[in-house]
Amino acid sequence: MSSNIGVMGHPIGHTKSPVFQQAGLDELGIKETFEAWDVAPEDLEAKVATFRAEGFIAACVTLPHKQAVMPLVDELTEAAEAVGAVNWIFNRDGKLVGHNTDGTGFLRALKEKAGFDPEGVDAVVFGAGGAARAIVYALKTTGVARLTIANRTLEKAQILASEFSEGRFKPTAIGMDRDELANYVPYATLLVNTTSLGMAGGPAELATPATADMISADTVGYDAVYAPPETKFLREVEEAGGTPAGGMTMLVFQGIEGFEMATGKSAPVDIMFAAIEKALRSS
C-alpha cells in the first residue's frame, strides 16, 4: 500500500527529497514513510485522484508535473496562481489544495543560510524561466526596492516584468549583454542566477551571468543551480568579496515549507539539512 506522503515526478530516481523529509518525519515521531512516486504523464490524473483518500497528507510535485497538476486540484493558493506552478498538493478533508513554496523556500534560504533580508535592496535576477518566476514573486512580497530581470531573450524578461508589475513594484527588463549588465549589476546587493549557466552537464558549465569585476563587495550572490555546488558564478561572487549562497538550500527549504504545511508543525531544519548533506557526501 502506498504511504500518505511523498514526492511525484517522472523520472524520479534522482530525487533527494525522501532523504531529508524522512529525517524530519522521524524526528517528530510521525509514523509515515516519505515515498518517491514515478508517475508518467498519462497516469497523472489517476494518481492525483488517490490523494483525496482519507488519511492522505500531501504530495510534493516535481518535474514535469508542476503545471499539469494545476487543473487537477480543487483549489489553488495565491502563490500557486502567481507562480503558475504547483509544487505541493495538500489533502484538506478530501479537498486538494495546490500550493507553491519555491518562492518562500528561496526567501528562507536567503534568510536562514545567508542571513540576508531583501527588503529595500536593489536586486538583479538572471533568467526568466520557471525558477525566475518563483523568485520574482517572492522578491515582490518582501518589498525589494528595485528589481532588474536580465535574460538572454529580452522579450521573456519583459513579459515576466510586466506580469508582476503592480503599484511601485516595476521590474526593469534587460538583455544579458555585458554593457547592459554593467548598468545594473554593480549597484545590486542581491544577484540571483536562475539561468542554466554553470549547470553541470549543460552546454555552459563554465559560464557565469556576471563576473567579479562588476560585482560589488557587499553583494549576496545566490545560485539556483545546485549541481555543481560551487558554480562559476559563486566563485565570481566570492572573488568580488561578496557572499556566495548555493541552490541546494532553496530546494531543501521548499521541501521544509511544504513539510510544515503538511504536518502543521515546525520542521527540525538542522536535522533535515544534516540528512541531505550526509546523503550528498556519500553519493
Residue 58 beta carbon to ligand ATR: minimum distance, rounded to whole angstroms? 22
**Residue 152 interacts with ligand ATR (CB under 6 A): yes or no:** yes
**Residue 158 interacts with ligand ATR (CB under 6 A): yes or no:** no
**All cell numbers assigned to 134:** 518563483
- Segment interacting with ligand ATR, rule: CB under 6 A, options 36-44, 95-103, 128-136, 177-185: 128-136
Instruction: Name the residue with cell 538583479.
Output: 124
Contact 8, 47 (CB under 8 A): yes
**Residue 193 interacts with ligand ATR (CB under 6 A): yes or no:** no
Cα distance between residue 236 and residue 129, in whole Å = 23
**Residue 190 interacts with ligand ATR (CB under 6 A): yes or no:** no
DSSP calls for 171-188:
-EEE---HHHHTTTGGG-
Among 36, 97, 107, 176, binds ligand ATR (CB under 6 A): 176
Long-range contacts of 139-144 (CB under 8 A, 24+ apart): 140/164, 140/166, 140/169, 141/103, 141/107, 142/107, 142/117, 142/118, 143/118, 143/119, 144/118, 144/119, 144/120, 144/169, 144/190
Residue 49 vs 204, nearer CB to ligand ATR: 204
**Residue 150 interacts with ligand ATR (CB under 6 A): yes or no:** no
Residue 83 vs 220, nearer CB to ligand ATR: 83
Instruction: Name the residue with cell 518517491.
Output: 36
Catalytic residue check, 66:
yes
Residue 132 vs 245, nearer CB to ligand ATR: 132
**Residue 211 interacts with ligand ATR (CB under 6 A): yes or no:** no
Among 12, 44, 80, 197, binds ligand ATR (CB under 6 A): 197
**Residue 248 interacts with ligand ATR (CB under 6 A): yes or no:** no
Catalytically annotated residue among 66, 113, 140, 232: 66
**All cell numbers assigned to 143:** 518589498
Residues 6+ apart with CB under 8 A from 4: 32, 55, 56, 57
Give the footprint of ligand ATR on this chain (CB under 6 A).
127-132, 151-153, 156, 176, 194-197, 204
Q: Which residues belong to the active site?
A: 66
